[in-house]
Amino acid sequence: MAPVRVDRAGVDGPTRGQARGPRWRTSSRGLVVPAHVPVSSHQRTLEASAVLAADEAVTGWAALDWQRARWFDGTVDGSTLRDVPLVARRHLWAQPGFSVSQEFLHPDEIVVVDGVPLTRAVRSVTFEMRYAEGLTAAVEAIDMACYSDLVSLEEVSAHVAGLGPVTGIQQARDALGEADENSWSPRETRMRGVWTRRAGLPRPLTNRPVFTLEGQHVGTPDLVDPVSGLVGLYHGDSHLSLVGASKDNVQDAEFRALGLEPVAMFATDWRDIDAFARRLCEAATRASARTGVRQWTLEPPRWWTPTHTVSRRRALDARQRRRFLRYRDVA
């Protein structure tokens, strides 16, 4: 619900006295919303955008979230709220709930979606990468924007290449070097970072389907080394039930039967990343030591429709997206 101004007559908004009562809450200076309106990420974005003038826009995570990008909920790990980032050409004071950047913004970089002015997706995700709290968070931002097909690595690379020495530009460049268009969740992205940066293992492929030599689909692991056959599986909270654990054990057995070496990362492993990195390296050693004829392949059969890049997913029609991408929502 869009905020309204206090109205002395009480016609277009509450009177000053009403606004001070329990039925209204202040969204920003001079603007209020009914107190019963839930404070969702979209509501916070709408309230913050109400202070913008022409040629100003919402950017960063909030702009991506407003365009229905998944994983941009405006919190830090689902708890602490993040400010809604705005780009304003004039001097605009930041207020509780939103922050203000006065970087140059060309009108062509603004798109209006459902009445809210946003910076284009490529600029929004670049803003996130530049101001992220560390490289891991920057990589998560671009990975998840690619997950929703709002941007491609090629598009973001071109945008970043055209920027000068602005704040956080090197972090954005570094994040591009580690980004992937086929990560399905922020936790998978973080696990990939542990795999490459902490364990020092070769960069894996993300969510690539594994087939038998006869073309039967066995599973789609989160990470897989196409050379050694080391497989990384992230087990979040949904895997902690008896049903989830049973499915995981069956999947592990199927991978091992083909000569792959699976290693699982659990939500509790974030408490001791070094221990998981050691477990990962031990599994990599076992994978490299395996001998015998390779019983698996990452080469899909002719009937399979690959969806591991943004361009491939964008080429799907609505029916194909429902059919071929539904597995990502339950992974």
pLDDT of 260: 96
Averaged pLDDT, 22-31: 90
Tokens encoding 113: 């979606």
d(CA 117, CA 51): 11
Residues 152 and 261 in one domain: no
Domain assignment present for 174? yes
Averaged pLDDT, 128-132: 98
pLDDT of 244: 55
Identify the residue whose tokens are 């979040």. Answer: 236
pLDDT of 331 over the 70 cut: no
Tokens encoding 331: 């992974």
Contact 79, 72 (CB under 8 A): no
Least confident among 59-63, 94-98, 143-147, 247-251: 247-251
Identify the residue whose tokens are 């597995």. Answer: 327
d(CA 321, CA 96): 39
Averaged pLDDT, 278-303: 94
pLDDT of 313: 98
Contact 265, 192 (CB under 8 A): no
The average confidence (pLDDT) of the chain is: 93
Averaged pLDDT, 188-199: 97
Task: Identify the band that residue 241 occupies on the pLDDT scale cut at 50, 70 and 90.
Answer: very low
Residues 154 and 217 in one domain: no
pLDDT of 205 over the 80 cut: yes
d(CA 36, CA 90): 32
Residue pLDDT, tens place only, 260-284: 999 999 989 999 999 999 999 999 9
Least confident among 100-114, 231-245, 281-295: 231-245
- 148 φ/ψ angles, rounded to the nearest 5 degrees: -90, 5
CA distances to 113, 191, 222, 298 from 229, in Å:
44, 17, 13, 10
pTM for this one?
Answer: 0.92
Quote the distance between the C-alpha of residue 208 and its chain's center: 18
Domain boundary at 179, 195, 230, which? Answer: 179
Query: What count of residues does the chain have?
Result: 331
Domain assignment present for 2? no
Residue pLDDT, tens place only, 67-126: 999 999 999 988 899 999 999 988 888 888 999 999 999 999 999 999 999 999 999 999
> Any idea what DSSP says for residue 146?
H
CA distances to 3, 36, 262, 328 from 32, in Å:
5, 12, 54, 39
Domain assignment present for 287? yes
d(CA 116, CA 183): 29
3-state secondary structure 204-236: CEECCCEEECCCCEEECCCEECCCCCEEEEEEC
Residues 140 and 198 in one domain: no
pLDDT of 239 over the 60 cut: no
> Any idea what DSSP says for residue 172?
H
d(CA 173, CA 330): 31
pLDDT of 79: 83
What total number of domains does the chain contain? 2
Q: To which H or E segment does residue 121 belong?
A: helix 121-131
Task: Identify the band that residue 291 occupies on the pLDDT scale cut at 50, 70 and 90.
Answer: confident
Task: Identify the band that residue 228 occupies on the pLDDT scale cut at 50, 70 and 90.
Answer: very high
The three-state secondary structure class of 26 is: strand
Residues 80 and 173 in one domain: yes
pLDDT of 245: 59
CATH number for 235: 3.40.960
Domain boundary at 157, 179, 201, which? Answer: 179
pLDDT of 62 over the 80 cut: yes
pLDDT of 66: 98
pLDDT of 238: 54
pLDDT of 292: 82
Domain that holds residue 210: 187-297
